[in-house]
């Protein structure tokens, strides 16, 4: 199952939006959810359990739920109010700041990672591209590969890298255990 960031998502009774992220539990490399932005200008990103995905291609994902069910799913992020501690917390309580700050908080488990596509991929000796797809085993829901597409219309290449080659995932950067020379044989030309 090829989960492409940006693929159209169809419920049982019509299109509901597009994939914006894939949520992965890194310890077992299991995909737990996909994040789908609803249609329209103000479409809400919602968490869809991977078990609700019945079919996936590069262009489209099909769900086993209806449009109404999709609208009732939990949002991917929510705004929380936070009052930062002020100087008065330590010295004089009357000086405490009273202004609240609105923060967006992801509604996923702390140990999960939301891959949004476009994350920079670093080999041991430099940058090799950006994430475009995640390949998921349809039976086990385990992420098996990340896919990078690089180049332009006439010289496009696809690089499929097994997740076992990932050393570390940080915010917006995926570090590999491999060098550029080790990754090169994994590349295929898109026009071939």
Q: Are residues 89 and 66 in the same domain?
A: no
pLDDT, tens only, 171-187: 788 899 999 888 888 87
Rounded to the nearest 5°, which phi and psi values hold at 105? -120, 130
Does some domain include residue 61?
yes
Q: Are residues 176 and 123 in the same domain?
A: yes
What does the alpha-carbon distance between residue 54 and residue 115 come to, in Å, rounded to a whole number? Answer: 20
Does some domain include residue 112?
no
Does some domain include residue 111?
no
DSSP state of 155: S
- Decide: 49 and 76 in contact? Cβ < 8 Å: no
Does some domain include residue 155?
yes
CA 26 to chain centre: 12
pLDDT-based confidence at residue 92 (cuts at 50, 70, 90): very low
Domain that holds residue 85: 77-106
Name the E strands within the chain: 2-4, 8-11, 14-25, 30-38, 45-49, 53-56, 60-63, 77-82, 101-106, 113-115, 120-123, 126-136, 143-150, 157-162, 166-170, 173-176, 187-189
pLDDT, tens only, 121-175: 889 998 888 888 888 888 888 888 888 876 655 666 788 889 888 888 877 888 9
What is the model's pLDDT at position 107? 56
| HSE toward the beta carbon, residue 67, CA cutoff 13 A | 8
Q: Are residues 60 and 87 in the same domain?
A: no
Does some domain include residue 8?
yes
Q: Are residues 124 and 92 in the same domain?
A: no
Q: Are residues 94 and 136 in the same domain?
A: no
Does some domain include residue 153?
yes
Supply 56's token pair: 């996936």
Contacts of 53 (CB under 8 A, 6+ apart): 1, 3, 34, 61, 62, 63, 64
Q: Which of 104, 107, 113 is nearest to 170 (CA)?
A: 113
Q: Is 9 helix (H, G, I), strand (E, B) or coil?
A: strand
Q: Are residues 64 and 81 in the same domain?
A: no
- Decide: 103 and 143 in contact? Cβ < 8 Å: no
* Number of folded domains that form the chain: 3
pLDDT-based confidence at residue 70 (cuts at 50, 70, 90): very high
């Amino acid at each position: 199952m090829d989960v492409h960031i940006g693929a159209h998502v169809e419920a049982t009774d019509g299109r509901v939006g597009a994939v914006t992220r894939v949520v992965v539990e890194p310890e077992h490399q299991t995909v737990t959810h996909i994040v789908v932005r609803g249609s329209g200008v103000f479409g809400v990103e919602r968490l869809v359990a991977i078990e609700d995905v019945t079919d996936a291609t590069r262009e489209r994902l099909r769900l086993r739920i209806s449009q109404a069910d999709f609208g009732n799913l939990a949002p991917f992020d929510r705004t929380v109010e936070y009052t930062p501690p002020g100087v008065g917390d330590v010295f004089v309580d009357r000086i405490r700041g009273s202004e609240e700050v609105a923060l967006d908080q992801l509604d996923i488990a702390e140990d999960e990672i939301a891959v949004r596509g476009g994350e920079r991929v670093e080999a041991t000796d430099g940058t090799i591209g950006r994430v475009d797809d995640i390949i998921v085993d349809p039976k086990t829901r385990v992420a098996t590969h990340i896919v990078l597409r690089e180049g332009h219309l006439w010289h496009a290449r696809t690089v499929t890298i097994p997740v076992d080659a990932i050393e570390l995932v940080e915010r917006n950067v995926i570090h590999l255990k491999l060098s550029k020379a080790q990754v090169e044989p994994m590349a295929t030309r898109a026009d071939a």
